[in-house]
């Protein structure tokens, strides 16, 4: 996924009821797409069905103060006894609770007459009054409080009854097994990750809890964490790669429609983020302007020679290709890529389709080769769309040509005919060999324009051969010649491109 700063267009919105994968199973959720987020909403009515569409309900913690400190998920799972007695479902029970002065009953309730639901215990807070009885359970319907009938009570009426009940509270309850799947899924929503961003909409629904997933710098892909030859799923991975959200759709058309919509919004957000990143980079010691950036998958080979794919965040500046394990946010993170290559010494070597035996289908890939002091460094990257393939290929080629115009010339030391020299490669003037002596007043041994160059060759270690049609010139660069060879070819390609010819 990538974008250029000049990207234009409108964001896309849509919504629907689809499946999300967590706890090794698929769960039905309401999914809505906004400009900046994908919002997952659990909106269900256990009174109608254990997995049904939602009806508005109220929510309240029946405590003067909540001091448990436990996260929502742990409260739901850990509050109250972990095992239900046999035959408890549907049986009325009387439970006496001694209120704690500071914390109240230590429960949360949901439901009410206005929601066409009973008053239900939705949470039992660890080590508080209700939990200490070991006789109350998440999913208990409260029939009465100190003899006051709550079967026809609104949510607010139930809250008032519980709070005015005094220190000793007698609860008549009945366990409803059909509500427990909702509570389990509700707590599981937090397992998707992206931090504590759950939304509780008290004004709309107690049964409604939403989790927004910010799209900014997310990695949108398929067949990364989960194999999907049927193309029904899409994956979203967080900028730090620690969290993921996998959605499944009923058919290929719907899945592709959602993928395209999310993709469009991420492209727009990435364009804005490039502007923000350049503002951050403008104050860095080595100023670089980011031209293009986004998530790719890099092909790696394991010990058995089989290929795997690893997400990598790639940024192209005016002179470099920068690779990161996670999306960088700060000046310090931008300054520390795990790998970088000079665009002058990098070339695009292929761009197109590649067969993927894992999914028995073609994938879109492009490859790069970079000349380094250690030799040639090769990368194969996978993209998700034809648009990404075209934009990355274009950005790499144009980026290298732009770097040639920006840098203008490269100089390296060399030994030629047993003399210490300097090889100067100039974007406009071609190749010049100078005497490496400050007293020589830039004595020129030879000079050729690029069009005179017939052939280049190297030994991969230190020797470079240049043929201008008058015999070979052998240069000992005393280091790997690959960077110079790649720079030379980039200058040639840039000049040919400037002339309007096909590089």
DSSP per-residue codes, 63-84:
-S-------HHHHHHHSS-SSP
Rounded Cα distance, 133 and 81, in Å: 9
Residue 127 CA to its chain's centroid (Å): 38
Distance CA 370, CA 482 (A): 8
> How long is the chain?
503
Report CA torsion sign: 259, 309, 40, 177: positive
Query: Is 247 within 8 Å of 31 (Cβ atoms)?
Result: yes
Q: Which of 60, 55, 154 is nearest to 114 (CA)?
A: 154
Predicted confidence pLDDT, tens digits, the chain (503 residues): 554 434 445 667 889 999 998 767 888 889 999 999 999 987 543 333 232 222 233 445 555 443 333 222 222 333 344 467 877 887 899 999 998 776 788 898 888 888 778 899 888 887 889 989 999 988 899 999 999 999 999 999 999 999 888 889 999 999 887 665 555 555 556 667 775 444 444 434 444 567 899 999 999 999 999 988 899 999 999 999 999 999 999 999 999 999 999 999 999 999 999 999 999 988 877 778 999 999 999 999 888 778 889 999 999 999 999 999 999 999 999 999 999 999 999 999 999 998 877 667 789 999 999 999 999 999 999 999 999 999 999 999 999 999 999 999 999 999 999 999 999 999 999 999 999 876 556 789 999 999 999 999 999 999 999 999 888 999 999 999 999 999 999 999 998 888 875 54
Residues 304, 309: Cα–Cα separation, whole Å: 15
Distances (CA, A) of 89 to 77, 84, 345, 439: 19, 9, 72, 99
Pick from 378, 375, 376, 377: nearest CA to 461: 375
The structure tokens listed for 407 are 């840098």
Task: Domains for the chain: give ranges and CATH numbers.
Answer: 58-185 (2.30.42.10), 255-407 (2.30.29.30), 409-498 (2.30.29.30)
Longest dimension (CA), the chain: 109
H or E element in which residue 365 lies: strand 361-372
Alpha helices, H only, 115-251: 129-133, 155-163, 180-188
């Amino acid at each position: 996924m990538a974008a250029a700063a000049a990207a234009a267009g409108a964001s896309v919105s849509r919504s629907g009821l689809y499946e999300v994968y967590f706890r090794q199973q698929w769960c039905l959720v309401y999914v809505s797409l906004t400009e900046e987020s994908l919002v997952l909403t659990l909106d269900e009515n256990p009174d109608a069905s254990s997995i049904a569409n939602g009806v508005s309900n109220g929510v309240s913690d029946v405590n003067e103060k909540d001091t448990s400190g436990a996260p929502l998920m742990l409260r739901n799972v850990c509050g109250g006894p972990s095992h239900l007695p046999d035959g408890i479902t549907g049986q009325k029970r009387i439970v006496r609770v001694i209120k704690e002065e500071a914390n109240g009953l230590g429960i949360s309730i949901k439901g009410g007459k206005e929601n066409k639901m009973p008053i239900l215990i939705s949470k039992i807070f660890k080590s508080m009054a209700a939990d200490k009885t070991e006789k109350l359970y998440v999913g208990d319907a409260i029939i009465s409080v100190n003899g006051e009938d709550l079967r026809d009570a609104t949510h607010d009426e139930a809250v008032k009854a519980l709070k005015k009940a005094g220190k000793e509270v007698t609860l008549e309850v009945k366990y409803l097994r059909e509500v427990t799947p909702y509570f389990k899924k509700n707590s599981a929503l937090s397992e998707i990750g992206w931090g504590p961003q759950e939304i509780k909409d008290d004004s709309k629904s107690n049964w409604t809890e939403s989790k927004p997933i910010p799209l900014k710098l997310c990695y949108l892909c398929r067949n990364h964490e989960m194999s999907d030859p049927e193309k029904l799923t899409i994956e979203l991975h967080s900028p730090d790669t620690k969290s993921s959200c996998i959605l499944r759709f009923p058919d290929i058309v719907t899945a592709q429609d959602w993928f395209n919509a999310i993709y469009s919004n991420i492209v727009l957000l990435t364009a804005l983020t490039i502007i923000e990143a350049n503002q951050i980079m403008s104050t860095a010691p080595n100023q670089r302007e980011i031209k293009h950036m986004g998530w790719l998958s890099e092909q790696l080979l394991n010990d058995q020679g089989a290929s795997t794919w690893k997400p990598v965040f790639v940024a192209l500046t005016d002179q470099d290709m920068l690779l990161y394990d996670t999306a960088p946010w700060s000046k310090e993170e931008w300054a520390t890529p795990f790998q970088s290559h000079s665009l002058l010494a990098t070339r695009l070597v292929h761009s197109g389709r590649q067969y993927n035996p894992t999914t028995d289908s073609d994938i879109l890939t492009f490859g790069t080769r970079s000349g380094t002091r250690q030799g040639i460094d090769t990368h194969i990257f996978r993209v998700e769309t034809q648009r990404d393939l075209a934009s990355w290929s274009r950005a790499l080629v144009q980026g290298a040509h732009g770097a040639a115009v920006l840098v203008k010339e490269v100089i390296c030391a060399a030994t030629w005919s047993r003399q210490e020299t300097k090889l100067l490669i100039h974007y406009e003037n071609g190749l010049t060999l100078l005497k490496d002596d400050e007293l020589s007043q830039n004595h020129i041994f030879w000079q050729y324009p690029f069009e005179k160059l017939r052939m280049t060759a190297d030994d991969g270690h230190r020797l470079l051969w240049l043929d201008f049609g008058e015999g070979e010139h052998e240069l000992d660069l005393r280091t790997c010649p690959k960077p110079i060879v790649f720079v030379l070819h980039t200058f040639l390609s840039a000049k040919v491109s400037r002339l309007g010819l096909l590089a």
